[in-house]
Structure 1
Amino acid sequence: MRLSRVLSTLFFISIVSCTDGDKAIEEVFAETERGTILRNINRVSKDFIHTDFESVFELEIEEQDIEGGNLLDFVRLHIEFRDRTIDGSDNSTQEVILKDIPSNAFIIGPDAFPRTTILVSYQEVVDALAINTGLIEPGDQFGLRLETHLTDGRIFSTLDTSASVLTDACFFKSPFRYEINVIEVIPEDLFTGTYSYEIVSDVINPSFGIQEEGIVSIMAGDLPNVRTTGIIGEGLEFTIAGAYVYPKIYQSVNLFCIESGPHILSGPNDTNFGTIDLNDDTVFFLDIDIGFEGWDGTLDNGDDAIGVSTLYTFKFTKQ
């Protein structure tokens, strides 16, 4: 059985709702291996400012395991650079280890599980990856991946979990992976207001239940360059980075927060990026994979099959 489909039963048993008021699951399957999560408690800051190497990614996390956090040894951070600049060259890097956060850096939080704040500075990742800063442009990205190491030697990360654990729409909110965009801060009123939208992709999957056109309100998020709107169940969040539009990873399309259910997730496409004109917010495009990383709602726990993603391109026009 593939590990990426296993964690749904490693640690939890009952139906998980989509509210933050739920308590941690107390019942576990006696016959299954117990896992761990790194619950996303608070995104304080998420992107790097292009020329500000003191800017930071900051995230508060909570580690949960079957022994109340006592299995935690350390959390390892991995980082990579993705060159999105179209200039005929590709300065992307392989993933490297950034640093380890030991268990003694965690303190017991209000839910009786250990919590800590992850701080990753722009300069820190540039140094770790030995990148020429002159090659970094707005719209480039850094990929941050978290990996939990337990005292018994087991390791858990993004591939060792389930759709209902990965998404922020459900209680556990443990993606283990975050995209850090390189941005230039834009005014909060740009790309906000009432927009019509239409799906202009060649292929539309009716089983995803997304309306092909409509009218939505786009609002500024709590963090720079973040915008939110409706369309999918969780609410579509995206970030404007340079001339690109990047949707948040692991967003829930159908809010199906049941471990054995057909949960559909969305996320950024690997090669197609929505485009935007920073001088004109009347029209822009957003590319997004529905069924991101195979989470297309067709998988059950224990099924080794991999679902498929469908690239959707949305055209937004200001009203």
Structure 2
Amino acid sequence: MKKMKIQSKIFSILALSSLLFTACEEGNKDIDKIFDETTRGAVLRTISGGNAVFNRFDTSTVWSVELEEQDQENGGLLEKVEVFVNFDDNTPDNGETTTTEALLQTLPASSFTTGPFGLPRVSTSATFQEALDALGLEEGDFDGGDVIEFRMELTLTDGRRFSNDNDSATLNGSFYSSPFFYRGNIKCLPPDPVGGDYVLKLMDSYGDGWDGAKITVNIDGTSTDYTFTSGSEASFTVNVPCGTSTLVMTYVPGNFEGEHTYTITAPTDELAASDGPSPSPGEIALNICKDGPCTMAK
């Protein structure tokens, strides 16, 4: 079965590789077609950043993004980009919080510089506190699990405006990566590790284990790898002693990443993390808002 799987994957890779030489060309045709056939084309391409994690306990944490603007005059029509914020309340336990979208920043054309492809680029950022202030939110209005939404609105010199409501699926889902919209996910990132038992549930949609992927748990400098080599899922209980100084969980990718998902349940019974298919590599941010058993035992 594994051989068939590998053969299938290899066939898919070969099929895809035959398209690689035309992918960029087709992408260029997409945007050229927009610019040639209509006067309504403009793109805000995401170069880096965009989505972020805000620490519920640290309002100095930062959202940032680098953008590249492109229009039929290669940036000559750019007037400004406005950054708006709104709030998505996903935690009804602390009451319902409603907001009206608010203007956070205005980026005039003069704040852009010329990028490596001759198109205007700009980098911008905002702290969690700046977003809260713009929305008029205070302590108690938000919690881990809520989301700060960032919406970009591009204005051209002739007055036309573009945002996520008139963004085409072609540009949003392609190489051009032009969503005009990003999220700052609010998570409770405890200043000190929460002691107790964590439950790691690892899942593979094909049913042949995690193909070399693993979650590494480092407790006060001692690392342990958690993975499985056969079957559809495996669960592990990881005890973090009370008084632990450092706790770092890291996802390390393997092969066939599209098959992998995981969940991590905290000692407080909260869903501390989940990801996949194709989980993000690197350190896993644990969202734990409640007091753990070690705190309650004091």
Taking structure 1 as the reference length, the TM-score comes to 0.55
2: distance between equivalents of 1:181 and 1:51? 13
Amino acid at match of 1:179: R
**SS in structure 2 opposite 1:123?**
helix
Given that 2:57 and 2:189 are in contact with CA atoms closer than 8 Å, whether structure 1 keeps it comes out as no
**SS in structure 2 opposite 1:125?**
helix
Given that 2:201 and 2:263 are in contact with CA atoms closer than 8 Å, whether structure 1 keeps it comes out as no
Amino acid at match of 2:181: R
Structure 1 partner of 2:17: none
Amino acid at match of 2:187: I
Q: How many residues align?
A: 216
The answer to whether the aligner puts 1:178 opposite 2:155 as a matched pair is no
**For 2:41, which of 25, 35, 50 is the aligned residue?**
35
Amino acid at match of 1:184: C
C-alpha deviation, 1:185, in angstroms: 3.7
Amino acid at match of 1:195: L
Given that 1:107 and 1:114 are in contact with CA atoms closer than 8 Å, whether structure 2 keeps it comes out as yes
2: distance between equivalents of 1:80 and 1:88? 18
C-alpha deviation, 1:33, in angstroms: 2.2
Cα gap change, 1:61 to 1:193, in 2 (>3 Å): farther
**Cα RMSD, aligned residues only:** 4.4
Cα gap change, 1:125 to 1:24, in 2 (>3 Å): farther
The answer to whether the aligner puts 1:127 opposite 2:133 as a matched pair is yes
C-alpha deviation, 1:149, in angstroms: 0.5
Cα gap change, 1:163 to 1:246, in 2 (>3 Å): farther
2: distance between equivalents of 1:102 and 1:239? 43
C-alpha deviation, 1:48, in angstroms: 1.2
Higher helix residue share: 2
Structure 2 unaligned residues grouped into runs of 5+: 1-20, 217-247, 279-285, 290-298
Given that 1:73 and 1:149 are in contact with CA atoms closer than 8 Å, whether structure 2 keeps it comes out as yes
C-alpha deviation, 1:34, in angstroms: 4.0
Structure 1 unaligned residues grouped into runs of 5+: 1-14, 199-210, 253-275, 280-319
The answer to whether the aligner puts 1:71 opposite 2:77 as a matched pair is yes
**SS in structure 2 opposite 1:111?**
coil
C-alpha deviation, 1:226, in angstroms: 9.5
Deviations 1:260-281 (A, max 9, x none): xxxxxxxxxxxxxxxx9969xx
Structure 2 partner of 1:300: none
Structure number with larger C-alpha Rg: 2
Cα gap change, 1:99 to 1:31, in 2 (>3 Å): same
**For 1:104, which of 110, 115, 129 is the aligned residue?**
110
The within-5 A match list for 1:1-319 is: 17=23, 27-28=32-33, 30-43=36-49, 46-87=52-93, 89-167=95-173, 170-185=174-189, 195-197=202-204, 215-216=209-210, 217=213, 230-231=257-258, 243=271
